[in-house]
Amino acid sequence: MSELTSKTIAQLRDGFRDGDFSAREVATDFNAAVVAGRALNAWTVETPELALAAADEADLARVAGGLKPLSGIPIGIKDLFCTEGVASTTGSNILKGFKPPYESTVSGKLKDAGAGMLGKLNMDEFAMGSSNETSAYGPVISPWKRNDGGNVALTPGGSSGGSAAAVAAGIAPGVTGTDTGGSIRQPAAFVGISGIKPTYGRCSRWGIVAFASSLDQAGPMAKDVRDCAILLETMCGFDPKDATSLDIAVPQWEAGLSSDLKGKRVGIPKEYRIDGVPDEINALWDQGIAWLKDAGAEIVEISLPHTKYALPTYYIIAPAEASSNLARYDGVRYGLREMGVKSLDDMYAATRDTGFGAEVKRRIMIGTYVLSAGYYDAYFTKAQKVRTLIKRDFAEAFAQCDLILTPTAPSAAFGLGEKMSDPLAMYLNDVFAVPASLAGLPAMSVPGGVDALGLPLGLHLIGRELDEQSVFNAGLAIEERAGFTARAEKWW
Amino acid sequence: MSVTEKEVRHVAKLARLALSDAEIDKMVPELNNILGWVEQLGEVNTDGVEPLTAVIDLKLRLRDDVVTDGDVRDKVLLNAPDAQHGFFAVPKVIE
């Protein structure tokens, strides 16, 4: 990392405003880092010219007036945000070459706030995966290595794997991710950075390629809690183009940051102590409890009795919604079309077989099955009922506490290829992340420490609906106490 | 419940996926594995529980019945694999 690429967004913003460096210098250094980091396979498209154009605008504004909240800050955008004139392919062959003539609301807000785009970030195909290995562009390689002398290539997590790797490697100071069942939080934990999924409805879904619409939420990933607060303030806000967008004011989370947790009660759900989780992760959880106590919080044991049913519920609801959302990829209006077939029906089926990867097809099949005649009630309706109970669990828990602390993931980053042959083993990676998604609650991962092999482990904070501030504040309290300074040693 | 090869072929047809025989063979045990696992939801008593339909409290918004968009035909067709005469073109559907 150069001097500039090692800085946080807050440091870049303030240093640029103080005249310590120009926006062009910042963009130039990050553009160079993108090129130097190609071995990580974190990007699907590089847009250095867009980063420079925004930087020049920022430099001009610094002289002429009219600075915006993110003037001088280059960022990366996950590939499933539609970006005007720039290929947006959601890591899939079926959208190869698709250049939207419009901009997603969230990426548009970031650009309107002055941010420049470094490029589009690699991801699991349609955000379906927990290791970035389902991408049509190939897996992202984590910048992290185990300290055992081996040279195993590790996953940065998924589905926002390119986003995670780019921040951890100092290639982008901040990025967008999306989280349907942990796709921001698990990768953030795997690479030792922070990431938050806000309350469902805070970020507009318009222009974000849909996976499971009742779960999908955009959110930021960055080096620390403050940077996440800065980005999220810009990303959120009412959008009439999204029917589930919340028409409420966006709080000033950065200004509200405080690591003093006096008067806050933090719940520790006993059902999250599950078999097979390494001792190191439970030990870090205990350490997190001690840190929050030290910050003034009161710790209470809580119960979320339906926790063990969250993953199976998710793996009915998410594929069901996906099978419906992905019906639009038919080779007619955009993306791939498989020719050489006789009928329109054959064209649909051939296009979809060629265009989708194995995991996406698997989920379309599960989703189609659980929605099909005769099985709808047994699977889909049942899952929606259990989802009600999971949401109720949280509502009852929040009568006794203000926040919930858990580990982010049940393991540290694993090696590429280790879990690809067993879909269920891969799904279990999101065991701690999925319940908050099903309940639409804000949830964040912050780095807590490293395991015996030197790999980052994350702590996970879940807040009440719309109470991102408490999540940020507890995240900050952990950040200050964890003193997490470990960085991936540069090998790329 | 377990799915048979015949059912998997039927679901693939519903989903408009031209899966190869090899893909079908692989998918039958995979789907059975996943469906067997999600069936643990049967243990949960959901009598009298309403299915969740909206994760946040939302009121359906109304807006004025006016045109807010349109006149973007060329943009709509911009990414079409085959656009002719201002339309999306597809293989012949009438014999």
pLDDT of residue A35: 98
Yes or no, beta carbons of B34 and A382 under 8 Å apart: no
A162-176 pLDDT, tens digit each = 999 999 999 999 999
Structure tokens at A388: 């009600």
Residue A379 DSSP class:
I
Tens of pLDDT, residue by residue over A294-307, are 999 999 999 999 99
Cβ of residue A379 closer than 8 Å to a chain B Cβ? yes
Predicted confidence at residue A339, as pLDDT, reads 86
Provide, rounded to the nearest whole percent, the portion of chain B with pLDDT above 70.
Answer: 99
Q: Which of A268, A269, A235 is nearest to A250 (CA)?
A: A235
How far apart, in Å, are the Cα atoms of B8 and each of A352, A360, A387? 16, 15, 27
Predicted confidence (pLDDT) at residue B95 exceeds the cutoff of 80: no
If we measure between CA atoms, which residue out of A103, A128, A131, A127 comes closest to residue A117? A103
Q: What are the chain A neighbours of B64 within 8 Å (beta carbons)?
A: none
Q: Other CB atoms closer than 10 Å to residue A359's CB: what's the count?
A: 18
Q: Would the CB atoms of B51 and A361 count as touching at under 8 Å?
A: no
What is the band of A340 on the pLDDT scale with cuts at 50, 70, 90?
Answer: confident
B33 vs A383, A389, A424: nearest CB = A424
ipTM (interface pTM): 0.96
Buried b (16+ CB within 10 A) or exposed e, B26-38: ebbebbeebbebb
C-beta atoms of A368 and B27 within 8 A: no
Average pLDDT value over all residues in chain A: 97
Q: Is A342 exposed, middle or buried (0-12, 13-18, 19+ CB in 10 A)?
A: exposed
| pLDDT, position B2 | 86
Q: What is the DSSP string of A125-185?
A: GGG--SSSTT-TT-PPPPS---SSS--PPBP--SSSHHHHHHHHTTS-SEEEEEESSSTTH
Residue with tokens 């419906």: A324
Q: Which residues does chain A have within 8 Å of residue B58's beta carbon, measured at their own beta carbons?
A: 201, 243-244
Average pLDDT over residues A310-330: 98
- Residue A460 pairs in a beta bridge with A406, A445
Q: Is A371 an 8 Å CB contact of chain B?
A: no
Q: Does A364 touch chain B (CB under 8 A)?
A: yes
* pLDDT for position B1: 64
- pLDDT of res. B65: 94
Mean pLDDT along residues A49-71? 98
**Spacing of C-alpha A246 from chain mean position:** 20
> What is the average per-residue pLDDT within A45-62?
98
Residue A180 to residue B21: CA distance in whole angstroms = 32
Q: Is A332 on the interface with B (CB under 8 A)?
A: yes
Instruction: Read off the pLDDT band of A378 (50, 70, 90).
Output: very high
Catalytic center residues of A:
78, 159, 183
Interface of B with A in 1-60 (CB under 8 A): 1, 3, 7-8, 11-20, 23, 27, 30-31, 33-35, 37-44, 46, 49-56, 58, 60
Of residues A333, A384, A423, nearest to B80 (C-beta): A333
Q: Helix, strand or coil for residue A321?
A: helix
Residue of chain A nearest B45, judged by CA positions: A386
Alpha helices in A258-343 (DSSP H): 279-294, 310-325
Assess A372–B contact: CB distance below 8 Å, yes or no: yes
Output the CA–CA distances (angstroms, integers) from residue A95 to A116, A335, A368, in the order listed: 24, 4, 21
pLDDT band at residue B58, thresholds of 50, 70 and 90?
confident
pTM above 0.90, yes or no: yes
Stronger pLDDT, A39 or A425, i.e. the higher one: A39
Contacts of B19 (CB under 8 A, 6+ apart): A353, A361, B9, B12, B27
When pLDDT is cut at 50, 70 and 90, the band that residue A1 belongs to is low
- Assign A237 to helix, strand or coil: coil
The residue among A490, A402, A489, A486 whose CA lies nearest residue A448 is: A486
The whole-angstrom distance between B24's CA and the closest CA on chain A is 10
First to last CA, chain B: 41
> What whole-number percentage of chain A has pLDDT above 90?
95
pLDDT band per the 50, 70, 90 thresholds, residue A63: very high
Report the distance separating Cα A218 and Cα A180, nearest Å.
Answer: 9
- Tokens at residue A127, please? 């955000």
State whether B41 and A386 contact (CB < 8 Å). Answer: yes
